[in-house]
Amino acid sequence: MKVVITGGCGFIGQRLAQRLLEKGSLVGPSGRQEEIDKLTLFDTVAPPDKLPKDPRAELVTGDIANWPLFESLIDRDDISVFHLASVVSGGGEKDFDAAMRINLNGGLNVFQGLRQRESVPRLVFASSIAVFGGAAMPETVGDLAKQTPQTTYGMTKAVCELMINDYSRKGFFDGRSARLPTVVIRPGKPNAAASSFASGVFREPLNGEPCVLPVETSQVMPLLGYRSVVEGFIRLHEVEAEALGDDRAVSLPSLVVDVAEMIAALRRVAGERPLGEITVAPDPFIQAICATWPRDSREERADALGLPKEGSVDEIVEAYIEDYL
CB-based contact 155:149 (threshold 8 Å): yes
- Rounded to an integer, the average pLDDT of 106-134 is 97
Whether 153 is catalytic: yes
> What's the burial of 172, exposed, middle or buried (CB within 10 Å: 0-12/13-18/19+)?
buried
pLDDT band at 133 (very low <50, low <70, confident <90, very high): very high
Residue 46 has pLDDT above 80, yes or no: no
Does residue 139 register a pLDDT over 90?
A: no
pLDDT at 191: 83
Closest among 59, 76, 68, 69 to 5, alpha carbons compared: 59
Domains of the chain: 2-183+224-254 (3.40.50.720), 194-219+256-296+311-324 (3.90.25)
Per-residue pLDDT, 239 = 97
| 176 sits in which H/E element | strand 174-180
pLDDT one-digit tens code per residue, 80-94: 999 999 998 888 899
pLDDT band, very low/low/confident/very high, at 67 (cuts 50, 70, 90): very high
Averaged over 168-196, what is the pLDDT? 93
> 3-class DSSP state for residue 171?
coil
For the cut 90, the answer to whether the pLDDT of residue 22 exceeds it is: yes
**Residue 190: pLDDT above 90?**
no
Distance CA 92, CA 184 (A): 20
pLDDT in tens, 316-325: 999 999 999 9
pLDDT at 231: 98
Residue 206: closest CA among 93, 321, 309? 321
Strand, coil or helix: 33 = strand
The answer to whether 119 and 78 have CB atoms below 8 angstroms apart is yes
Residue 48's pLDDT is what? 73
pLDDT at 45: 86
List, for residues 283-315, the tens digit of each pLDDT value.
Answer: 999 999 888 888 888 889 999 999 999 999 999
Please give the pLDDT value at position 165.
Answer: 98
What is the mean pLDDT of the segment spanning 146-160? 96
- Whether the predicted pLDDT of 54 surpasses 90: yes
Question: CA–CA distance from 19 to each of 23, 109, 298 (Å)?
Answer: 6, 26, 27
Of these residues, 153, 167, 226, 320, which one is catalytic? 153
Measured in Å, how far apart are the chain's first and last C-alpha atoms?
35
Helix (H, G, I), strand (E, B) or coil at 231: helix
Residue 238 pLDDT > 80: yes
User: Is residue 185 reached through a cis peptide bond, with omega within 30 degrees of 0 on the bond before it?
Assistant: yes
pLDDT recorded at residue 230: 98
CB 181 within 8 A of CB 224: yes
List phi, psi (to 5°) of 255: -100, 125
Mean pLDDT (the chain, rounded) = 95
pLDDT in tens, 247-263: 999 999 999 999 999 99
DSSP bridge partners of 43:
61
Percent of the chain predicted with pLDDT > 70: 100
The 3 state secondary structure assigned to 76-106 is: CCCEEEEECCCCCHHHHHHCHHHHHHHHHHH
